[in-house]
Structure 1
Amino acid sequence: MYQKKSPLNLECGLHFFKEILSGKWKMMLVHYISQGFKRPSELQRVIPKADRRVMNKQLQELVLHGFLTKKIYDNKISKVEYKLTSLGENLLPLIYTIERWGQENQLELEKAIKRDPKFKYVV
């Protein structure tokens, strides 16, 4: 398993946030689970560009870090559902603030993306 070489800065909340919630789909997963999409197949449908393996890894990390709970139903066909914990619920206002900021600054952000050569697509 990969281990980080540099120690975590425990004196800064931004470092905690970056370390725990960095991941391409984590905030979207929290958002969609709050909207009632609880099963991995449902999440895959609402985030179709997410690689299933990456999405499952990020769901596992969100459970490990206390943002989600995972319930496994033991039927003939096993079924998994995710639910937000209180920590996950506390994250929602921040996610909605970031979403609103993105919408309010969309034109400027689109210009920035078009200028950046690492983005292969044009908005």
Structure 2
Amino acid sequence: MRPSTEHAATVCPVEVTVSIVGGSWKLTIIQKLLAGTRRFGELRREVGDVTDRVLTRQLRDLESDGLVHREVFAEVPPRVEYSLTTRGQTLQPLVEMMDQWGRQWADEHTPINASN
């Protein structure tokens, strides 16, 4: 268990969840992997404005926490694919609820175009 998660476990279950999925881009990465296996470049393009360094770090954390599986193929050039583990797939309802909540919030807080 990563130290931040270990500390969160002493606080409350919500803090554990935030510790595991609350990093930069983690929920977006999980959302993209819910659609299926992705290579690093695919994830970088789909996630958005993320640096290689940050994406690598987040993927390593998610792998360390047992949510992401990293598979390296012995090919030239090397091919690496990322997918969700069974544990990672259990986050689907959470991600869907957050997506729905975010869309609703954005709809309610988007200024109405004055020319309409």
Q: TM-score, normalised by structure 2?
A: 0.82
Q: Deviations over 1:71-91 (max 9, x none)?
A: 000111111001111111100
Q: In 1, distance between residues paired with 2:41 and 2:110?
A: 31
Residue 40 in structure 1 maps to residue 45 in structure 2: no
Distance 1:40 1:95 in 2: 21
Query: How many correspondences in the alignment?
Result: 108
Partner AA of 2:95 in structure 1: I
- SS in structure 2 opposite 1:77? coil
Corresponding position: 1:84 with 2:72: no
- Which consecutive aligned stretches of 4+ in structure 1 deviate over 6 angstroms post-superposition? none
Structure 1 residues 1-123: aligned runs within 5 Å = 7-10=7-10, 12-109=12-109
Q: Structure 1's 53 and 10: CA in aligned 2 closer, same or farther, altered over 3 A?
A: same
Shift of 1:108: 4.5
Q: How much does 1:9 deviate?
A: 4.0
Considering Cα pairs closer than 8 Å and 6+ residues apart, tell me whether 1 or 2 has the greater RCO. Answer: 2
Deviation digits for residues 16-46 of structure 1, max 9, x if unmatched?
0111112121011111112135111001111
Q: Label 1:13 to 1:110 Cα distance change in 2 as closer, same or farther (>3 A).
A: farther
Q: Which moved more, 1:79-88 or 1:34-43?
A: 34-43
Percent of aligned pairs with the same amino acid: 26
Higher helix share: 2
Conserved? CA contact 1:37–1:43, under 8 Å: no
Gaps (5+ residues) in structure 2?
A: 112-116
State the superposition RMSD in angstroms: 2.1
